[in-house]
Chain A
Amino acid sequence: MRNKKLPRPRFRGSLLSRYLLIILSALLFIPVVFPASLIGYQLVQNMVLGNAFPDAGAEPEERYQTIHLENMWHKEAKRLKGSTPEEIDRRLKELSEEYSKVDMFWVDANSHVRQPAGGRLHLSETWNAADAISYMKRYREATQQFSVIAFIGDDEKLNQGFMVMQVSKAALGPRDSGLSARESMAFFGIILLMFVLFIVVSWMFFMNMRRRLLRLQSAMTVPDGSGLPDPITVRKSDEIGQLEAAFNGMVHRLDRSLKREREEEELRKRLIANLSHDLRTPLTIVRSHVYSLHKEQLSERGRELLKLAETKLGDLAGLIDNLLSYNLLTSGKYTLHPERVDVLRTVRESAAAWYPLWEKEGFEVDIDLPEGPVYWTLDAQWFRRILDNLFQNVVRHARSGQYIGVRAAMDSAGGMAIVIADKGKGMKASSGDKGAGIGLAIVGFLTREMGLDMEIRSTEEGTTILISRASGGGQGLKLK
């Protein structure tokens, strides 16, 4: 075998690439799809739920947005530049009224904490820098508050102190709140949907592959023993598509070689047929002259010689036939056509055709075949040929016995055997006629080819030929 280089399949459109795509999307599922679904969920929430309950959302949403609050706070701090503490107190009070959800206080230059709007907050009296930092770190983070610190005048060098506002994140709107039960169900629903989608896509991928493989399999299964599978249409250029193309290529090659074989068989047959014609035509002419001679005035001796010549002409014709058949058969250029054949019926019909000749030769004909069909798988035409050759041999070479027996018997394996018996001088004795050889060679060849056993028992009292199905052969004719 040649080590053939595998054709490199194109990656695009291959099964591999498509499967990788599915796997890749499954892998992306976790880092991309989870957040994406979250965002998607929120978009839905804002657009659908936000519109559904306008009172709960819109107005405070605008004012309490962190960016708005931060800007507002720094602007106020800048405006309060150079203001007296009283002025600052007053302004913060106004602002607290405006932003009711926001807590505000300020620390003056002397580090005194002042809460002009009164205090929800519990703060120490004085604040130094450390207090401020600790507030930022501890308080703000621990309580999920949003807070803004601004120096008065928005410049720490003025040393007027600083002002702080803080607001709980809950007040800032629903977006920062935790997930409710309904919300998480919707979220998991999306995840589940994604899972199901993944399973469906993979399932479809494999079902499609399976379907195409099954199609290929059914295309390869030839319904009959004889024909070739039909080529199939290649729809895609992926791995299975390439397999289909390779399969088509194989079918074409097989078809070509089968055609060539048939052509050779045809040629051989034609040659044999022409040869047969060329040999038989002059033989027929000789025969016609011999026949015409019968009408002439002849002596007794002349008549005898003429009869002998006629007999030899017949033998010669038979010999040509057998010789050509043998050539055709053994060249392997002839196909046998096996079918289920009732052998007993075939033997009876063949015997019926030979009967008049046996009668004329004065043979005692003893035909004893059981009733009912016995089916063997044979080429019917060639089986007739076997019988013809055997019967012919009896007429030619066992004429002295004046007997032909055709019967059925049990063979050693318990099956039925067809027995053709004569009472001639046996095959070793020279009957004066040569030529049994080629006829028997054909019989031998054909029986072997058809999975039959032939047994010849020849003594000086006669010859018995048994034909049965080969014990190992099973169903007889083997299919080539």
Chain B
Amino acid sequence: MDDTTGYPQGPGKGRMSNNHMSIHLLYIEDDAEIGTWVNEDLKGRGYEVTWLQNGERAVDHAGGCRLVILDVMLPGLDGFTVGQRLKKAYPDLPILMLSARTSIDDKLEGLQFADDYLTKPFHPDELAARIEVLLRRSGSYSSEPLVLKHLLVYERENRIMNKDTGEEIVLTGKQFQIFMYLLRHLGQILTKEQIYEGVWGDPYLDGDKTLMVHIRYLREKLERDPASPEIIETVRGVGYRVKA
């Protein structure tokens, strides 16, 4: 699908697999036309969707859900309140805010509890990609392995297989954490600072070569040819990316 809206895209296109039959999403949207459209689109992508037109009973329905898509402007309780209630009841449940309001304050307020924020009008592929990233980040991995070139990554079992040799690739703790961090942001470019702070949890110190050293060793283990890496791509001047 061509998208030339001129807006930056968060993650790239995710895998268009239909293997998330069991994944249940809660969708709260008051506009009937948009609601019908998104509901059908998501069902077409293999998700099970519960669509509510207001947020009053959101918490009751969130029980078996893996992710919530939440509109901001709702009749009665507004999206922020609903989101905060949901987060209180289910702290681990990822929330994707969907809003037609774009003022920066709104976005900041939303992101205080929401895990992502998408503005209308959006492309359904963009929505699907973001849902997939959030599910991946929250640990809702599929049982199918993720295929990256010559690698098979079993995210549930924390296992990486080399298809070429049929051997398992064993990574050290930090190497594994870095690789998993990149996989959780599949298709996104991450800066050195983001990776360092995401994995180590400390602020990145300027001139720290630790991350580069780890990535070099990681490539030696993962790549067919570490000199021209295919799995962990270097985006010159910006950072690193693992593309699906």
Is A386 part of the binding interface, using a Cβ–Cβ cutoff of 8 Å?
A: no
Q: Digitize A264-296: 1 where CB-to-B-CB distance is under 8 Å, 0 elsewhere.
A: 000001001110110111011111100110100
How many chain B residues touch the partner (CB < 8 A)?
48
- Who on chain B is nearest to A391 by CB? B8
> Are the C-beta atoms of B238 and A311 separated by less than 8 Å?
no
Given contacts A283-B121, A313-B121, contact A277 B8 (CB under 8 A): no
- Who on chain A is nearest to B34 by CB? A284
Is A345 part of the binding interface, using a Cβ–Cβ cutoff of 8 Å?
A: yes
Which chain A positions have C-beta within 8 A of B103? 269, 272-273, 276, 324-325, 328
Report how far A285 CA is from B206 CA in the complex, Å.
Answer: 47
Report how far A453 CA is from B105 CA in the complex, Å.
Answer: 25
- By secondary structure, the A interface counts as helix
Given contacts A273-B106, A284-B120, A352-B188, contact A318 B6 (CB under 8 A): yes
Q: How far is the CB of B1 from chain A (nearest CB, A)?
A: 8
Which chain A positions have C-beta within 8 A of B12? 356
Is A385 part of the binding interface, using a Cβ–Cβ cutoff of 8 Å?
A: yes
Which chain A positions have C-beta within 8 A of B99? 277
Q: How far is the CB of A183 from chain B (nearest CB, A)?
A: 82
**B85-93, B135-143, B190-198, B222-230 - interface stretch:** B190-198
Q: How far is the CB of A355 from chain B (nearest CB, A)?
A: 5
Chain A stretch 361-391: residues in CB contact (< 8 A) with chain B: 361, 365-369, 371-373, 381-382, 385, 388, 391
> Are the C-beta atoms of A287 and B121 separated by less than 8 Å?
yes
Given contacts A381-B108, A385-B104, contact A283 B5 (CB under 8 A): no
> Are the C-beta atoms of A351 and B120 separated by less than 8 Å?
no
Which chain A positions have C-beta within 8 A of B3? 310, 314, 360
Is B122 part of the binding interface, using a Cβ–Cβ cutoff of 8 Å?
A: yes
Given contacts A315-B6, A318-B5, contact A356 B121 (CB under 8 A): no
Which chain B positions have C-beta within 8 A of A388? 8
Which chain B positions have C-beta within 8 A of A350? 8
Report how far A120 CA is from B171 CA in the complex, Å.
Answer: 134
> Are the C-beta atoms of B34 and A372 separated by less than 8 Å?
no
Q: Give which listed residue, A286, A360, A365, A371, contacts B206 with CB less than 8 A.
A: A371
Which chain A positions have C-beta within 8 A of B119? 280, 317, 321
Chain A stretch 302-322: residues in CB contact (< 8 A) with chain B: 307, 310-311, 313-315, 317-318, 321
Which chain A positions have C-beta within 8 A of B188? 352
Is B236 part of the binding interface, using a Cβ–Cβ cutoff of 8 Å?
A: yes
> Are the C-beta atoms of A281 and B31 separated by less than 8 Å?
yes
Report how far A328 CA is from B238 CA in the complex, Å.
Answer: 32
Q: Digitize B68-93: 1 where CB-to-A-CB distance is under 8 Å, 0 elsewhere.
A: 00001100000000000000000000
Q: Give which listed residue, B2, B6, B236, contacts A395 with CB less than 8 A.
A: B6
Is B147 part of the binding interface, using a Cβ–Cβ cutoff of 8 Å?
A: no
Report how far A276 CA is from B190 CA in the complex, Å.
Answer: 31
> Are the C-beta atoms of A281 and B34 separated by less than 8 Å?
yes
> Are the C-beta atoms of B6 and A406 separated by less than 8 Å?
no
